[in-house]
Structure 1
Amino acid sequence: MADIPVALYVHWPFCVTKCPYCDFNSHVRASVDQQRWQAALLADLAFEAARLPGRRLASIFFGGGTPSLMPPATVAAIIDAACQHWTPEPDLEITLEANPSSVEADRFTGFASAGVNRLSLGVQALDDAALKLLGRPHDLAAALAALDVAQATFGRVSFDLIYDRPGMTRESWDAELHRALGFGTTHLSLYQLTIEPGTRFAALHARGQLVMPDEDTSADLFAITQSETAAAGIPAYEISNHAAPGMESRHNLTYWRYGDYAGIGPGAHGRRMGVATLRRKKPEAWLAGVAETGHGMESEAPLTLPERTTEALVMGLRLAEGIDAQRFAARSGTALVDALNTAAVARLADQGLLFSDARGIRLTAAGWPLANAVLAEIAR
């Protein structure tokens, strides 16, 4: 396993506001003891690195929450420590998620100096009314200004948009996406809005105060997304992620290819050598855990063979490249053919929903929108 690179995920749980659609582990706090948080993250990192000795480091991803609220000095300290614990790859990818407020945009130079070489910007919509609906703390002018600064500062920039929003039509999304593609970024993350349990949107939806597009419209919006990004030279390499060749998120590919990744910070998940790790979710509980034990671990649980098989299937089918049979066997411990209902695979292949041969399996363009249903059919 020492020859397989590892990825590092760092969770910063704080946000300026809580968006009504968000079910991520994010929290609003009046103040944060930055020095204490830096020390705790470094301790959590050291604990995790000791359990993955001798590995090469392929990527670091600062997610959240809103990691652009972190001091650049803390980002630099974590990057430096990670590169001491592991041997960094020559093309080490270091991504930081940012929100496009002016305060955070002013920090971009500091993050670049710290070692961040890829920025993921949470634009979310190119329309002020939609941004207000989504509860975003920025307007379109701030988003475009931050995007300009990001593209002038970082070698690689991605930004997120949420579509399939209430009131969205085929024509409005076509126009918004066309504008987004005109900014020239080499990566876009384009997510259909989902109603997540426990969010404010879920409560509004249950009361009939938030009406989502119908299924036919949603399907058409997805199809528009795939065709227009492909025509622009940044096709989907994963169901919701689009990139120019070579510009894919190498960190996220580690997840989807079921590689090893260490997760530190409140609520962070990890997968290392068949063990699922989970940090304490509440920031204060995580901090207390680090102070008491030197780490913020909630649980470490060996994954059963069926659990590893299912996870590898769920993640791999999201990719345009699909699941490589050799990699699947090495990572899950199960031969791909033994994990599949071969009769269902043959039937769905005849229907044009997937393609399968000795090298692996992948969804077709027709199968992608039905990924969950296909998975339920083919998993043994």
Structure 2
Amino acid sequence: MDTDALTPGLLQELRATRPYPALSLTMPTHRRAPDNAQDAVRLRNLVAEAGNRLDADPRVTHEARTAVKAQLDRAVAEVDQRRALESLVILADTDEYQIWQLPRTAPERVVLSDSYLTRNLVAAKAGAQLFWVLSLSAEHATLFSGTNDGLRPEPRDGFPATAPHEEPNPQREERIGDTPSTYSSEDARNFMRAVDEKLRGVLAADPRPLFLVGLAPALSLLDEVGESAKPAVGRVAKGTTAGTTAPELAKELEPALRDWRKQAAARIQDRLDQAHSGRSFAGGLDEVWLAVREGRAGLVAVEEHFEQTVRVTEGHLEPVGADATPAGDPQVREDIVDELVEAALDNGCEVAFVADDSLADHGRLAAVLRF
């Protein structure tokens, strides 16, 4: 599955306590040759490690060991390397498996616990800048899910929707001398009301920034008959059809997306500047980590590709070299940035990923404090 499939409800389900052992396997992957040639070998090695861990764990019964290994084997057989992004996450227990291909790197790791490891999923979703796109006309409404990597159609909650076909009415033409305007008929208004209702359900279940693409009369009518589209962060007055493809739509959206991202980055920087001036600011991994753990962070900004391996010592984080691993030292955390992001979101903190080097003066990440 892709990051945009990670709804709040699914995340809650993945975090739920389940019978031991729940196995989580994570590893970095590569999108293109020749680097991706190593991915299959790395995956085989991690699967072998997972099997050894299951065999050596006295808490795992023979039945559970056999069942988890079978689920893991099924997952590995289903992995499609042609769809590889920056990392692969496999979750498996005695009854199921899930495969996640993420646009954010993750360390090599095998974890046995009573719940799945979700921090890499959460961090990937937080960094993906997910958004919705509604392609609209008087005849159709198609929903697309958007990420940094592009768009894809999202068939859900009644989308795609097609307006009922209205047969020509010769008697009406004779009576008033013309045919009804495309956007003034009651049928068009009813269709837009139905679209508004469907869109309300989508945004309630998975709130994201919304972009609208369609001719100006269509967008105006949607605003007139409903409320769901009014908070849209971007509008592109361009005609579309039910056959408009995701790449075609993405090309039309490029200027609006650039403006949105630029404005969002400027708002984040303004908040950080004000916090720095007002002494409600934390900078650097250790300071931000403490602020998040204490629930004092209201906004955490992280450079997009910032990673750091650390050793946790008396509640503080000490950066260590890349050769340090949890296998050699249980206090070492390879994915501390993703762990921090998940903890921040759990505490109701806003998380923003910003351009690399934009926080170079603050240790690559910073926080606006609530108190």
Q: TM-score, normalised by structure 1?
A: 0.25
Larger Rg: 2
